Chain A
Amino acid sequence: MAETVEAKAPRRIQLPVLDSFLWLIRLAAIFAVVWGAYFSLSSGRLSGAQWKDLVIFGLSQGSVYALIALGYTMVYGVLRFINFAHGEVFMSGAMVAFFVARGLSRTAMWTDQVFLSLFLVMLASAATSTVIAVALERIAYRPLRGKPRLIPFITAIGASFFLQYAIAGLFGFGFKSFPQVPALSGSFFFAGFRVLKTQSVVIVAAVLMMIGLYLFVERTRTGKAMRAVAEDQEIARLMGINVDRTISIVFAVGGAMAGAAGFLYLLVFQQVFFLTGFIPGIKAFTAAVVGGIGNIPGAMIGGLLLGGIESIGPSLVLTGLGIPSAHQLKDVVAFLALVMILIFKPSGVLGERVAEDRA
């Protein structure tokens, strides 16, 4: 006999009034988006070319978010811990990128060997962030492993301030401007889109790194060890995996991605100062959650999605609703959109319920 004695999952307490109210809000939001988009598009205030520019800009800043988001998501994957200082790891890389670039820009190499110079800058920023991330884990987080979650989290906030003001103390509080890269001025057309040369470097570099990371995690022995540690630390040990070392590698890889992102960020936004890590850090963290925290492809998608929405959203939705200077509200739009996604899919775009499913 096929008896179905399976206990039904306990239902949430039903609050019809609240529920329907929430649905109303969601419908209203969808309506506002459709309405705004319709009027923005039909008003023809932005030309097709301008829309395309926004797409490319969104893609390039999204690539930067995605690279940072990877560090959040990988660390969360193995430790169920939000490394709040990850934004500062990114900023430190950007800061070093600036100094190395400034140094190189005073030599002939900057114009004669453009790609080699840029590669060196990126190498320096990635190396800096890697070292900082690994040191952070070793010094600040590892001694607190196994303690209640709030404790390492508070420590991470402390580490975040520490890094901000250490950088400010060492290099000053002002904005630093990345030197011009003559070879990267101007733009070209690709499949009907106008792409700034800097943007193309950012997108290509980010995509290559993400492919590399994906292959590393999926195919290599160390990548498999990382996934094993993420899933079950005790059993990972039973395979002979050195869990501490694997966690260090996760921080190193996440740091390298963030450092590279620091350099790419400078190509897009040109300026860095000691608080530069904060907003992109929060955004990348959000992107990781939206993609499904702990999920590597999710972080990539989340980052690109956020970059795109932030770039296109205000013009698309707000101008049509008659809101002036829509672009000042880009963060409002972006975060509202992300909240909407999470309302409809709380575990994130690619999220499984990874956090709580341990036996």
Chain B
Amino acid sequence: MSSSETSPILELREVTTHYGPIQVLKEVNVEIRAGEIVCLLGGNASGKTTTLKTILGYVEPTEGQVLLDGEAINGIATDDRVNKGISMVPENRRLFKRMTVMENLQLGAYLRRDKDEIGQDMERVFDLFPRVKERLSQRAGTLSGGEQQMVAVGRALMARPKVLLMDEPSMGLAPVLVAQNFEIIEQINEQGTAVFVVEQNANMALSIADRGYVLQTGRIVLADTAQGLLNNPQMRQAYLGEI
């Protein structure tokens, strides 16, 4: 892959994160390059969400660095990191339930002033999710789970991020929707956004990813191309549901 020659957009370098005295991440190294889809796999409580929270500055690493475009962003406030081009579809979607779908999308573009381009991005979201366009004035809390997922992705895209983080996008969705969801991720990626997707659904994630990491109790235990991981016997046993 040619992408491995370019320098990473987002990088975690030897990151260790604690919640109080409890260590959750241990010397984690992750790289995401332009144009890539990278997945982070791991079981419950392995530290996947914590990895994303460390990238966004909800928690600060106790050691190591988070780099965006080669520049350390440790210590920078979350909203400023968003301004620098990171956006996320959070675990459980977390829409503003009392606000309309339209308002949720507008809030996604909160930091932007380029009105015309915001309008274009809005159209792009509607192209990806025609359903969303029909629901613009509905309160987000009254949407179905699948629709909420669409709005959550749309809201994150409205920030026009360089890197899109996704925390278990397939959680709680029916199998048909999961497949659709991954197709959408591919489309978003083809339109030029690097994607870092956290998943427990390893098969699905690896089917669209370029590379993947496996996290086990806070440590990266495997890092390889998606194909490499799919063929890895250790991996097949532990995460791909084969004996």
Contacts and interface: CB of A to CB of B under 8 A. Distances in A.
Interface of A: 221, 224-225, 227-228, 231-232, 234-243, 352, 359
Interface stretch (B35-43, B98-106, B171-179, B212-220): B98-106
B107 A232 contact: no
Contact of B97 (A231, A237, A239): A231
B104 to A, nearest CB: 9
Interface stretch (B83-91, B193-201, B202-210): B83-91
Contact of A238 (B78, B97, B103, B106): B78
B166 to A, nearest CB: 13
Given A238-B88, A239-B107, 13 more contacts: A221-B106, A221-B110, A224-B99, A224-B106, A227-B98, A231-B96, A234-B58, A237-B82, A238-B87, A238-B90, A239-B79, A239-B82, A239-B159
B96 A227 contact: yes
Given A238-B82, A242-B79, A359 B107 contact: no
B29 interface: no
B96 A235 contact: yes
Interface in B130-164: 155, 159
Nearest to A244: B77
Nearest to B89: A238
A237 to B, nearest CB: 4
23 contacts: A224-B99, A227-B96, A227-B98, A227-B99, A228-B107, A232-B94, A234-B58, A235-B96, A237-B58, A237-B78, A237-B82, A238-B78, A238-B82, A239-B107, A239-B110, A239-B111, A239-B155, A239-B159, A240-B159, A241-B79, A241-B107, A241-B110, A359-B94
Given A234-B58, A235-B90, A240 B111 contact: yes
Nearest to A357: B97
B99 A231 contact: yes
A239 B108 contact: yes
Nearest to A225: B110
B106 A240 contact: no
A243 B110 CA distance: 13
B107 to A, nearest CB: 5
A66 B92 CA distance: 37
A352 B90 CA distance: 25
B66 interface: no
B90 A224 contact: no
Contacts of A221: 106, 110
Contacts of B88: 238
Interface in B103-125: 103, 106-108, 110-111
A224 B106 CA distance: 9
Of B56, B83, B88, B107, chain A has the most CB atoms within 10 Å of the CB of B107
A359 B103 contact: no
A228 B96 contact: yes
